[in-house]
């Protein structure tokens, strides 16, 4: 495990949601970040973005210490693309992977706030990928990332009884429910902080790398938290057959 005084270079990827993002951080400095939130698929954007970053900062991939990736939860397709890209790079570069939980990376956008941070990623079917965090100095998990009904996380926020900041693509989807249900003072994060950023994944990745929290490339798997729609439909069909 490297010591805290060692310079570390992290290449970070996040394709867990609607946003595609690539970043490079070295010695607590964000050298580059390329983030796009548009209609194109991550299979179309992620590798060209990585190449653009590499060219712009003349990045020698052999100097990268680890690949940090938003490991999930999130879009099943997006997670697979991000994980496959991270694994391929790490295998070719012979370096480890740092798995950053997607919701923790999203919360880390708001580093320094004294308020509770509640990321909300739309998981469909009135559910969100979420959690509760303190990020005033580092990151402290109050409620680990989970897939729950919106009403459940609203209840957890109310029970905590503290000021809270919401962020993520679930905010506009469930904004009315939040406004009607949240009983504590609350805020919505501004545009430059309210979606996934590979810069935050890189910053957390650097911390985790120095703490020895890495996995070999071949061992990395995305964190889905729940079954895909296809898997759910298959199980429902099998249950219906069994009930006949």
**Gyration radius (Cα) of the chain, Å:** 18
Q: In this model, does residue 227 exceed pLDDT 70?
A: no
Helix (H, G, I), strand (E, B) or coil at 11: strand
Task: Using alpha carbons, select from 218, 202, 216, 206 the residue that is nearest to residue 21.
Answer: 202
* pLDDT at residue 239, rounded to an integer: 45
Helix (H) or strand (E) holding 240: helix 229-242
Task: Using alpha carbons, select from 139, 170, 165, 135 the residue that is nearest to residue 17.
Answer: 170
Q: Distance (Å, rounded) from C-alpha 162 to C-alpha 193? A: 21
In 28-169, which ranges are continuous DSSP H helix? Answer: 42-56, 76-93, 102-107, 150-160
Arithmetic mean of pLDDT over the chain: 91
* pLDDT at residue 41, rounded to an integer: 82
pLDDT tens readout for residues 119-178: 999 998 899 999 999 999 999 999 999 999 999 999 999 999 999 999 999 999 999 999
CA distance to 15, 119, 160, 217, per residue, from 70 (Å):
7, 14, 27, 14
* pLDDT at residue 236, rounded to an integer: 46
Q: In this model, does residue 1 exceed pLDDT 90?
A: no
* pLDDT at residue 112, rounded to an integer: 96
Q: In this model, does residue 205 exceed pLDDT 90?
A: yes
Q: In this model, does residue 237 exceed pLDDT 60?
A: no
* pLDDT at residue 39, rounded to an integer: 78
CA distance to 96, 201, 205, per residue, from 74 (Å):
22, 14, 18
User: Hey, what are 197's tokens?
Assistant: 């950023």
Q: Are 108 and 68 in contact (CB under 8 A)?
A: no
pTM to 2 decimal places:
0.89
Q: Distance (Å, rounded) from C-alpha 96 to C-alpha 64? A: 10
Q: In this model, does residue 24 exceed pLDDT 70?
A: yes
pLDDT tens readout for residues 47-97: 999 999 999 999 999 999 999 999 999 999 999 999 999 999 999 999 999
């Amino acid at each position: 495990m490297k010591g805290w005084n060692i310079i570390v270079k992290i290449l970070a990827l996040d394709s867990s949601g609607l946003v595609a993002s690539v970043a490079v951080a070295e010695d607590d400095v964000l050298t580059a970040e390329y983030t796009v939130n548009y209609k194109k698929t991550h299979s179309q954007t992620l590798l060209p973005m990585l190449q653009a970053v590499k060219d712009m900062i003349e990045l020698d991939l052999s100097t990268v210490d680890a690949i940090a990736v938003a490991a999930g939860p999130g879009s099943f397709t997006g997670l697979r693309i991000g994980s496959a890209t991270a694994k391929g790079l790490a295998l070719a570069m012979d370096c480890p992977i740092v798995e950053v939980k997607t919701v923790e990376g999203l919360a880390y956008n708001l580093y320094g706030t004294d308020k509770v941070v509640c990321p909300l990623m739309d998981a469909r079917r009135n559910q969100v990928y979420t959690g509760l965090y303190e990020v005033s100095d580092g990151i402290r998990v109050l409620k680990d990332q989970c897939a729950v009904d919106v009403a459940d996380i609203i209840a957890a926020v109310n029970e905590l009884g503290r000021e809270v900041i919401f962020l993520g693509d679930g905010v506009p989807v469930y904004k009315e429910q939040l406004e009607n249900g949240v009983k504590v003072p609350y805020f919505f994060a501004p545009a430059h902080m309210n979606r996934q950023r590979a810069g935050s994944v890189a910053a957390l990745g650097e911390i985790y790398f120095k703490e020895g929290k890495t996995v070999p490339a071949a061992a990395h798997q995305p964190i889905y938290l729940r079954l895909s729609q296809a898997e759910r439909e298959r199980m429902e069909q099998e249950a219906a057959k069994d009930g006949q």
